[in-house]
Structures are given as C-alpha cells and as structure tokens.
Amino acid sequence: MHIHILGICGTFMGGLAVLAKEAGHTVTGCDANVYPPMSTQLAQQGIALITGYDPEQTKLTPDLYVIGNVVSRGNPLMEEILNRGLPYVSGPQWIGDHILKDRWVLAVAGTHGKTTTSSMLTWILEDCGYSPGFLIGGVPLNFGVSARLHGKDKSSIFFVIEADEYDTAFFDKRSKFVHYHAKTAVLNNLEFDHADIFADLAAIETQFHHFVRTVPGVGRVIANANEASLQRVIDRGCWSDMERFGSRANADWTLQVHGDGSFDVFFQKEKQGTVQWALDGEHNRHNALAAIAAARHVGVPPAAAIAALGKFENVKRRMEVRGTVGGITVYDDFAHHPTAIATTIAGLRQRVGTSRILAVLEPRSNTMKLGTMKAALPDSLKDADLVFGYGAASGKEALGWSLADALSPLGEKAQAFDNLDILSDAIVRAARTGDHILVMSNGGFGNVHQKILDLLAKTCQTK
C-alpha cells in the first residue's frame, strides 16, 4: 500500500511513517515545515518529503491519505482530497487498523508522564526479552528512536504506545487513544489540559471513560490511586481487571523511599525488590510503579522489571543536561503544564540542594497560549531562585496575554522577555558558578539552550 501522510513531521505522524515503512508500505508525506530532526530521521528511512500542501500532490496517486490532526478544513491538499472523494483516514485509526491489529497493546495515558512511563515500560519488556514494538512521543535514550515495529524477535506480539487524549483529526473529535484497543491500559494521572479542545476537566474525564470502555474483560486497567479524577472515571464503569498504584490505602502497588534515592517496591504489601537508579522525583517513582505493574500483566516478574529499571537511561528532553560551562549546568526539559513545571523544579531541587536554580520558561502549548493556566504559573515556579519567561511578541507563537503580568506575583526574581537574544544575555549575566539553568518548553525554543552555552563560553574566555 502507498500512503501519503499529511502532517508527517509531527512526533506521532513521523513515528507512524517509520512504522509503516518498516511494515512494508510505500510512504511519502508532506508538512508545512520540513526541517530537522524529524526530516533527517524520515530521510534516513527513505521517505520522500514535500514541503507544503499543494493539491498537485494528488498526482502521486497513493492508495490512501493519512491525515494528522494538524490538518484542518481550508488546507488546500485536504480540500482537493475531499472534493475528489479520495480515500483518507486519521493517523490513529490507521495505526489501530494496520499496526496494532492482533498485537498485545500496552497503552499509557495521562496528563503527565506518558512518555517517560511508556519508555520505562518498553525498556523493561526489551531487557526481559519480549522484543516489543513501540511508538513514543519522545526518544528513549535506551533505544535512540521514537518508534519501531518489532525488536529482534519479529514474532513478538507486544506493542507499547503513548496514548494521547488529544483529538484524533478534524473529522474525528474522539481522543486518539480510543483507536488503540489496549489490552493493558495505564492511567497515570488526569488534570485539565488542552483548553483548545476541551471545555473543562469533566470533558476529558469522559474521553478517559471511553478509553476504559475499550479495554477488554481479559485486559487490565492500572490506575493512579492518588487521583480523584481517575476515580471518577473508574466509577463510571470498568469491565476489566484492575490494579492501583500510589500512596492511598487502596493501592496495590506502593513504595518506600530511601535517603540515597533508591526505593523499595511493594505489591499488596509484599516487598518485590529495590529500584536503584539515577532519576529524581516522586513523579518518576510513580511512573516506575505503573511500568512495573503493566509489565507484570504480560508476565514479567516484578523483580526482573525492577532490575531492568536500574539500567533505564530516561528520555531525551527530560531533565537532559545540554552542557556545563564554567561550573554552570544547562538542562532541557519538556515541562509546559504548571504541574509538570513544579514537579520538574522539585526534582532538580532534590538533586542540587541549596544551589541556585534559574528557571527559563516558554509557555507555548495551545492551553498556555489561551491563558487558561497563566494564574497557576507563579506558584509552579516559586521554588526557583530566578525566573526568566519568554513569549513571542508576534506571529503564531505569540501569547494573547501579558507574561510579565502573570509572573508579577514572583516579584523581582522574575522577568519576562520577547526577544531570545536579550533573554539569553540576561540569563548569562545573572548566572554564576554552581548555578543550574533549567530550560522548559514543549517546542524547540529557538535553540536557546545552545545560545546560553555559547554565551557562557564567551564570558569564560574574557575573564
């Protein structure tokens, strides 16, 4: 089959393209902006890319057009497809029909931690010989790629997928994850997000309820016992086996933390082993519990899963060290929701103690640009020593609200900028030996990490 993918450079659609090519399909695609790293990754797979959405692309005569959710009505190529009655389908539905069919799907859902938990789970299965396929919205450092059809064992039926609650396509407003037909479903947490498509938390809970309804009776739902929102979802109906993780009394999976950062894992109050690793933060420990529980559903003994996590290398852009110059360390992190921002800062604080943390934030998600979460920003950033916010002054990335006003409760320790060069210079002038510069954004942020490192190097040379 020849498929032509509209919106191919997105993380999900790019991963779909890799899986389709590996499965033996002919794959081409287009996007408004074709640029590295995704363009490089796809080119290495022999996938032809076209910049833009010219209707002339219909001359490629593919068997099917696969539509990403970045595409909307008015897109010239989409309009041509509709006018001519050409066959099309959403990305998630294509994945469900052509990649996940007849596989044991382990799907990880939640507002936060999907990528990390999916990566942990995939690595556990890999290390224990299950050769899983996977599609993850980041790059697990243990693998170096975000998607693959199979491991060494081509007969493996296991597939781990990051299960996003964002809508499927302009013609299918259900959440992506309802197309995956998970046999093992992880519900990590649930908060209000995606204000561009959901009116309130209750609307998202309904989508999670639909997800739970797709899990078969022989499947298993693994839910965070600490989340009242998830309990409301479960109370609406659950037809599968269920296990809970967390600190509540009804949790099946619990943990006990030691002073060195290691932690004991308990299942129904019986110790299963101790995780020894270099990751920080309570969120990562709970991600690990969820991954261990999910792996057990397919047959991995908890002790083996615990041993595998000792070799887990985390995910690119999750507290990733981009460089150290003059005793100043620069990190890159994907955090963009206030809860994730607070959790990320707390994890770094646990690691660096009383050393200064300079938080650098670009609020660029659709929810952030709408201003829905702006009132929560000061509290999420309060544990940083200095805060540098960036909001573009114009263009499609521009905020529709004043970042300076939103950060004003933080007083003099917070500044807002609309110019990347001025922002970078201000950060470097404020930084001193021993500081930790934490850059947080769900986009490329104009490669500000490297700008900061380059300026720090120049500063060191002139001293």
Q: Give the pLDDT of the chain (463 residues) as one tens digit per residue.
A: 999 999 998 889 999 999 999 999 999 999 997 766 677 778 888 898 999 999 999 999 999 999 999 999 999 999 999 999 999 999 999 999 999 999 999 999 988 888 999 999 999 999 999 999 999 987 888 888 889 999 999 999 999 999 988 889 999 999 899 999 999 999 998 876 766 677 788 999 999 999 999 999 999 999 999 999 999 999 999 999 999 999 888 899 999 999 888 999 999 999 999 999 988 778 889 999 999 999 999 999 999 999 999 999 877 777 788 899 989 999 998 877 888 888 889 888 988 899 999 999 988 777 677 777 788 889 999 999 999 999 876 666 677 788 888 899 999 999 999 889 999 999 999 999 999 999 988 777 888 888 999 898 888 766 5
Which three-class secondary structure state does DSSP give residue 410?
helix
pLDDT for 33-60, tens place per residue? 776 667 777 888 889 899 999 999 999 9
Amino acid type, 69: N
Q: Which pTM was predicted?
A: 0.81
**Distance (Å, rounded) from C-alpha 142 to C-alpha 346?**
25
Q: Do residues 406 and 375 touch, judged by C-beta distance below 8 A?
A: yes
Q: Do residues 247 and 224 touch, judged by C-beta distance below 8 A?
A: no
Amino acid type, 85: G
Return the DSSP state at 167. Answer: E
Q: What is the DSSP string of 229-284?
A: HHHHHHHT---SEEEEESSSTT-SEEEEE-TTS-EEEEETTEEEEEE--S--SHHH
Who contacts 49 (Cβ-Cβ below 8 Å, separation ≥6)?
8, 9, 28, 29, 30, 31, 34, 39, 42, 43
User: Taking phi first (over 0 means left), then psi (-120 to 50 degrees means alpha), and beta for anything else, what does residue 314 get?
Assistant: left
**Distance (Å, rounded) from C-alpha 167 to C-alpha 149?**
24
Q: Which domains does the chain have, with CATH numbers?
A: 2-91 (3.40.50.720), 100-309 (3.40.1190.10), 320-462 (3.90.190.20)
End-to-end CA, the chain: 62
List the Cα angle 131/162/145 in 5-degree steps.
55
Peptide bond into 37 cis (omega under 30): yes
Q: Do residues 40 and 62 touch, judged by C-beta distance below 8 A?
A: no
User: Could you give the C-alpha distances from 309 to 36, 90, 107, 221, 394, in angstroms and in order?
Assistant: 31, 35, 19, 21, 44
Q: Helix and strand tally (H, E) in the chain?
A: 15, 23
pLDDT for 221-236, tens place per residue? 999 999 999 999 999 9
**Distance (Å, rounded) from C-alpha 305 to C-alpha 106?**
15
Which residues face 67 on adjacent strands? 6, 90
Who contacts 258 (Cβ-Cβ below 8 Å, separation ≥6)?
264, 274
**Distance (Å, rounded) from C-alpha 217 to C-alpha 210?**
15
